[in-house]
């Protein structure tokens, strides 16, 4: 029997001591035998004692044989055991360029089980964990016999569990195999499994498995998931109070959930702090200070940045556990907040998309697909950076760029802005007016339609579309028809991603570069030919920097706006020498929003996006060899656009209210209970004009053909206008 005690691991008493001494140092079998003998002698006399005393040697021999055979039986059980499989499904992650979490996805059983290793966790947590749960983790081979005996003795003497006997290895076996260990057989199987596991797995692997599998209440598993859910942070840097809380929760995850039972969680946390102080992991003073910290009482939502992008890349790469993107988490979060804030201010059905790309690398730094993933009325689940829409006037810079490259025009070349017919197609400017003879620079700065179509006719629509394809952008043409002149005014389908790709080429001196959103992914080869030559791109950049609204402090953006037909899409794209930012505003369902224009709603968002991205930097440097001259000083072929069509002479007619149309219902409700102004647009007639609303004069600019008016309330309103010749027009609309 004494020999059996000597081979039991963890026994620190001296079993071969000749003098047994006090009861605390005697073998338990001997102590039990003597107490039994004394008790029976007191009650039954000497004769029964003699018979039982005669059986004592046999009992000791039997116990000794059992103790001797137990290790052999245990060894055979361990040899036959299959080690626990530590490979468990973990949440798929999408992280940013610096490996900060953007979005996590639940595993199939609905659990949040984020991948984590010891390197991802504060060493203080690991030290506290071992001090509280398994002090001899580094020394034992899966089972700590001393801890088991101590736990059993404490249970027997106090009637309750004072300390656990399970090692971290035993707990990993229980968690990995979903094993029940409250029965003798279950506990024996756990011991066998722990010994078997330590034969095949290293301590680091076992600890990593615990960090992944430890339960923290609800559907939260693993220390990383718990740190995000209860602390709102990664577990790399933890305070003593935070580390102790994460150590305490797995022992009774439901009973100690801080969001439901904060007082129980606090008591358990403080107990861990006491153990850590007793083990020398932290000082007593630090433990007492940590106890004064409150326990978090809410469960936080897991990060949900770039949700549409994350969802798409996870679908596209089903075999990759962690997908690293080129996005910047901080910028992404700031722009998502901006998009949500501005969409609410514009209207209840409006969404906003923002895309940011790095000029040098083509990497996507932020991708905001909507004004909020869970905004049902705004169709927030739709990624509007990838939705095909009409680009409005945003393609005009490329028309002029190709004309500059071909030697057909110069920024100071004169062009006619008059009513002109192009094979039955008669474009008009947005405000229904014409500017007469203007320079190409003025035509692009003012986004005039007729000059753009004239230049596109000279360049060729097919050539324009071909150059887009060279940059990796494939426009969607209606019914697969060949490209026509309407392409220049938005008669084609493109995405915000496409537009940012094209404008990135402009910012790179005409050299296209496919945008990349996956960090380290193999990218398509750079196109061998440029979108346009460097001189042409420099001319375009210089003109766009003079666009109204391009000034940003002492610097200027290269800026272009666009508004699609029917006020369905409002665009703004801008760039400096570092970044390209594109903004789209509209309704995802394609419904018109009267008065929604790029210059009014998209440009302010673009400006704020540049501020959040670090401010506006210098424009791309211009190459040598640019021709700087006035129209009169240009070579004769460049002074006026060749091949201009004759103007269509229109009869002078009276004023006509172009917007709003008669009988329309106009929704002017804005976020926060406010009202948007009603856009009034006029064509024809001769100024000055006098406007009336229900007979009362409105408007302060007698020669303006467009202005804003805020109705006094909801209901029908009659709008009328009279020009200098006394001619008039009138419409009645219902304002909501």
Mean pLDDT of the region 585-604: 92
Residues 523 and 613 grouped into a single domain: yes
For residue 59, cis peptide bond before it (omega within 30 degrees of 0): no
Report yes or no on 379 lying in a domain. no
- What is the phi/psi pair of residue 533, to 5°? -75, 165
Alpha-carbon gap, residue 472 to 306, rounded angstroms: 24
Q: What is the pLDDT of residue 53?
A: 53
What DSSP designation does 599 have? I
Report yes or no on 318 lying in a domain. no
- Judge contact between 103 and 228, C-beta under 8 A: no
Residues 166 and 71 grouped into a single domain: no
Q: Which residues contact 268 (CB under 8 A, 6 or more apart)?
A: 248, 249, 251, 252, 256
Residues 137 and 223 grouped into a single domain: yes
Closest CA to 115 of 253, 232, 226, 225: 225
Residues 107 and 180 grouped into a single domain: yes
Choice among 91, 340, 367, 393 that is catalytic: 393
Q: What is the pLDDT of residue 420?
A: 85
Q: What is the pLDDT of residue 151?
A: 67
**Would residue 393 show up in a list of annotated catalytic residues for this protein?**
yes
Q: Which residues contact 80 (CB under 8 A, 6 or more apart)?
A: none
Closest CA to 404 of 731, 129, 638: 638
Residues 487 and 563 grouped into a single domain: yes
CATH of the domain at 542: 3.40.710.10
CATH of the domain at 164: 1.10.3810.10
Q: How confident is the model at residue 108 (pLDDT cuts 50, 70, 90)?
A: confident
Give this prediction's pTM: 0.77
Which of 29, 54, 80 is the last residue before a domain boundary? Answer: 80
* 377-386 exposure pattern, b = at least 16 Cβ within 10 A, e = fewer: ebbbbbbbbb
pLDDT in tens, 451-465: 999 999 999 999 999
Most confident of 328-332, 372-376, 435-439: 328-332
pLDDT in tens, 199-210: 888 999 999 999
pLDDT in tens, 660-676: 888 788 887 766 666 78
Report yes or no on 385 lying in a domain. no
Handedness of CA 609, 611, 614, 616 (dihedral sign): positive
Residues 75 and 188 grouped into a single domain: no
**Would residue 22 show up in a list of annotated catalytic residues for this protein?**
no
Distances (CA, A) of 345 to 178, 217, 383, 670, 672: 51, 40, 20, 6, 7
CATH of the domain at 713: 2.60.40.10
Residues 431 and 552 grouped into a single domain: yes
Report yes or no on 497 lying in a domain. yes
Report yes or no on 633 lying in a domain. yes
Residues 678 and 606 grouped into a single domain: no
pLDDT of 652 higher than 60: no
- Judge contact between 575 and 517, C-beta under 8 A: no
Virtual torsion, Cα 370, 371, 376, 377, nearest 10 deg: -110
Q: Which domain, by its residues, includes 20?
A: 2-80
Residues 163 and 268 grouped into a single domain: yes
Choice among 133, 198, 336, 445 that is catalytic: 133
Handedness of CA 22, 23, 28, 30 (dihedral sign): positive
Alpha-carbon gap, residue 51 to 36, rounded angstroms: 13
- Judge contact between 160 and 258, C-beta under 8 A: no
Report yes or no on 114 lying in a domain. yes
Report yes or no on 522 lying in a domain. yes
Stronger pLDDT, 48 or 250, i.e. the higher one: 250
Residues 713 and 579 grouped into a single domain: no
Q: How confident is the model at residue 433 (pLDDT cuts 50, 70, 90)?
A: confident
For the record, the structure tokens of 601 come out as 């709603």
Alpha-carbon gap, residue 695 to 234, rounded angstroms: 65
pLDDT in tens, 228-264: 999 999 999 999 999 999 999 999 999 999 999 999 9
Q: Which of 28-37, 72-81, 261-270, 678-687 has the lowest mean pLDDT?
A: 28-37
Residues 194 and 128 grouped into a single domain: yes
Mean pLDDT of the region 497-509: 98
pLDDT of 36 higher than 50: no
Residues 97 and 73 grouped into a single domain: no
Report yes or no on 329 lying in a domain. no
Total domain count, the chain: 4
Give the rounded percent of residues in the chain with a pLDDT score beyond 90: 56
């Amino acid at each position: 029997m004494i020999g059996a005690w000597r081979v039991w691991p963890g026994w620190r008493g001296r079993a071969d001591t000749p003098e047994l001494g006090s009861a605390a140092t005697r073998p338990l079998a001997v102590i039990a035998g003597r107490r039994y003998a004394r008790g029976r002698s007191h009650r039954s006399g000497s004769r029964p004692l003699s018979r039982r005393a005669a059986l004592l040697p046999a009992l000791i021999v039997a116990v000794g044989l059992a103790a001797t055979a137990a290790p052999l039986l245990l060894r055979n059980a361990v040899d036959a055991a299959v080690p626990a499989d530590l490979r468990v499904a973990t949440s798929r992650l999408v992280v940013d360029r610096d490996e900060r979490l953007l979005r996590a996805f639940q595993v199939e059983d609905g659990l949040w089980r984020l991948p984590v290793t010891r390197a991802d966790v504060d060493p203080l947590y690991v030290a506290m964990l071992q001090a509280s749960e398994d002090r001899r983790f580094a020394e034992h081979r899966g089972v700590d016999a001393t801890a088991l005996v101590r736990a059993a003795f404490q249970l027997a003497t106090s009637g309750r569990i004072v300390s656990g006997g399970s090692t971290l290895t035993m707990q990993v076996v229980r968690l990995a195999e979903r094993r029940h260990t409250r029965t003798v057989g279950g506990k024996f199987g756990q011991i066998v499994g722990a010994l078997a596991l330590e034969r095949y797995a290293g301590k680091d692997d076992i600890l990593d498995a615990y960090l992944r599998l430890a339960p923290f209440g609800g559907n939260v598993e693993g220390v990383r998931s718990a740190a995000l859910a209860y602390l709102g942070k990664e577990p790399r840097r933890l305070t003593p109070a935070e580390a102790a809380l994460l150590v305490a929760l797995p022992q009774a995850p439901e009973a100690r959930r801080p969001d439901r039972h904060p007082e129980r969680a606090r008591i358990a946390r403080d107990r861990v702090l006491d153990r850590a102080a007793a083990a020398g992991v932290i000082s007593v003073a630090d433990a007492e200070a940590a106890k004064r910290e409150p326990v978090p009482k809410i469960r936080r939502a897991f990060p949900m940045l770039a949700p549409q992008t994350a969802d798409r890349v996870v679908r596209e790469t089903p075999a990759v556990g962690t997908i690293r993107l080129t996005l910047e988490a901080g910028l992404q979060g700031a722009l998502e907040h901006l998009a949500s804030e501005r969409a609410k201010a514009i209207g209840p059905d409006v969404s906003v998309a923002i895309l940011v790309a790095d000029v040098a690398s083509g990497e996507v730094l932020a991708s905001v697909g909507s004004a909020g993933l869970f905004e049902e009325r705004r169709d927030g689940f739709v990624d509007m950076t990838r939705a095909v829409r009409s680009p409005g006037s945003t393609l005009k810079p490329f028309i002029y760029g190709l004309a500059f490259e071909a030697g057909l025009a110069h920024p100071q070349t004169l062009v006619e802005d008059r009513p002109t017919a192009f094979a039955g197609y008669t474009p008009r400017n947005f405000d229904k007016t014409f500017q007469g003879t203007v320079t190409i620079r003025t035509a692009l700065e003012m986004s005039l339609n007729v000059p753009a179509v004239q230049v596109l006719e000279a360049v060729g629509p097919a050539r324009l579309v071909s150059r887009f394809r060279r940059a990796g952008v494939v426009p969607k043409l209606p019914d697969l028809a060949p490209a026509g002149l309407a392409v220049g005014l938005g008669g084609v389908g493109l995405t915000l991603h496409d537009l940012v790709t094209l404008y990135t080429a402009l910012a790179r001196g005409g050299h296209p570069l496919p945008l990349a959103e996956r960090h380290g992914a193999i990218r398509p080869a750079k196109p061998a030919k440029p979108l346009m030559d460097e001189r042409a791109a420099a001319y375009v950049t210089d003109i766009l920097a003079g666009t109204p609204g391009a000034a940003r402090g002492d610097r200027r953006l290269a800026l272009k706006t666009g508004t699609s037909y029917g006020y369905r899409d409002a665009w703004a794209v801008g760039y400096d020498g570092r970044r390209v930012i594109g903004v789209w505003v509209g309704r995802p369902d394609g419904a018109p929003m009267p008065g929604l224009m790029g210059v009014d709603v998209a440009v302010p968002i673009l400006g704020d996006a540049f501020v959040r991205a670090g401010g506006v930097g210098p424009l791309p440097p211009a190459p040598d060899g640019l021709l700087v001259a006035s129209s009169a000083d240009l070579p004769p072929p460049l002074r006026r656009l060749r091949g201009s069509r004759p103007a269509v002479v229109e009869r002078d007619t009276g004023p006509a209210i172009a917007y709003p149309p008669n009988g329309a219902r106009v929704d002017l409700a804005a976020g926060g209970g406010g009202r948007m102004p009603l856009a009034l647009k006029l064509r024809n007639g001769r100024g000055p004009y006098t406007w009336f609303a229900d007979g009362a004069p409105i408007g302060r600019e007698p020669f303006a053909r467009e202005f804003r008016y805020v109705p006094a309330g909801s209901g029908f309103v009659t709008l009328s206008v009279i020009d200098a010749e006394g001619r008039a027009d009138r419409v009645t609309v219902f304002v909501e």
